Chain A
Amino acid sequence: AQSVTQPDIHITVSEGASLELRCNYSYGATPYLFWYVQSPGQGLQLLLKYFSGDTLVQGIKGFEAEFKRSQSSFNLRKPSVHWSDAAEYFCAVAGFGNEKLTFGTGTRLTIIP
C-alpha cells in the first residue's frame, strides 16, 4: 500500500529565510509525486509534480523539490519565503494506473516578520 509521511506538523520560519519541508513516501513501483498547497479556507493547488526524468523539479511560486529514490524522499524547498507562503502543504503520491492521490498529514507553515 502506498503511504506518505510528513514528519513536521508545524514549521515556523522568518520571512526571507529558506525553507525545506520533508516528505517520505512508500510505494512499490515508480511513484508519481506531488506537492499541493492549501491556503486557509481554500482548496488545494498543485505546486509541482515529479513523474520521471530530472530529479529536481521546479514549480510555481518559486518552489522546487528533489526526488531521491535512495531515500524515498521528495522534499520541498524555497530559497526565500514570503509572508504569502503561509499555508498548509501536502505531499502526495500516486502511481501509473492508480491515479488516486494518497496524501501525507500536511505541514503547516507559519511565517514571522
Chain B
Amino acid sequence: DSGVTQTPKHLITATGQRVTLRCSPRSGDLSVYWYQQSLDQGLQFLIQYYNGEERAKGNILERFSAQQFPDLHSELNLSSLELGDSALYFCASSSQLAGVGEQYFGPGTRLTVT
C-alpha cells in the first residue's frame, strides 16, 4: 500500500459526459502528479501540483483540468469525454520539490467511455 488513495476505482460513462477523479496523497506529501495509461499512448504525464499551485504541465488536453485543494487532495476533471479518453488514470505523490523525489502511485481509476 503506497498511502495514495484514488476514487473511484472504476468509472463507466458515456461520450460527452464529464467526470471527476479524486486523489489523496500520502500524508505530508505536497506534490501531486496525474498520469494517464492507455494502450496506444502508454504512461503519460498529465500535470503536477505542488501545495495548491500548478507546477508542470504535460500532454494534458484542454478538455481536462485539475486542481489541488488546501487539504492537498487533488481532483482531475475530464469533460466532453471521447472514446479515446478510456484509460487508467494514476495519481502519484512526492515529498520533494527541490530536486527529484520518489513518486508513490495510487491504484488508479479505470475510466471507460462508451
Contact = CB atoms under 8 A, between A and B. Distances in A.
Given A99-B94, A100-B33, A106 B103 contact: no
Interface string A99-111: 1111111100000
A95 to B, nearest CB: 7
Interface stretch (A18-26, A43-51, A62-70, A77-85): A43-51
**Interface size class for chain A?**
20 to 34
B11 interface: no
Q: Is the interface of A mostly helix, strand, loop or mixed?
A: strand
A94 B42 contact: no
A43 B56 contact: no
Contacts of A71: none
Interface residues of B, number: 28
Given A99-B101, A101-B43, 12 more contacts: A43-B4, A43-B106, A98-B56, A99-B55, A99-B94, A100-B58, A101-B33, A101-B35, A101-B45, A103-B44, A106-B42, A106-B43
Most chain B beta carbons < 10 A, residue from A43, A96, A98:
A43
B45 A100 contact: yes
B15 interface: no
Nearest to B94: A99
A74 interface: no
B45 A51 contact: no
Contacts of A103: 42-44
A61 B45 CA distance: 26
Contacts of A96: 99-100
B77 interface: no
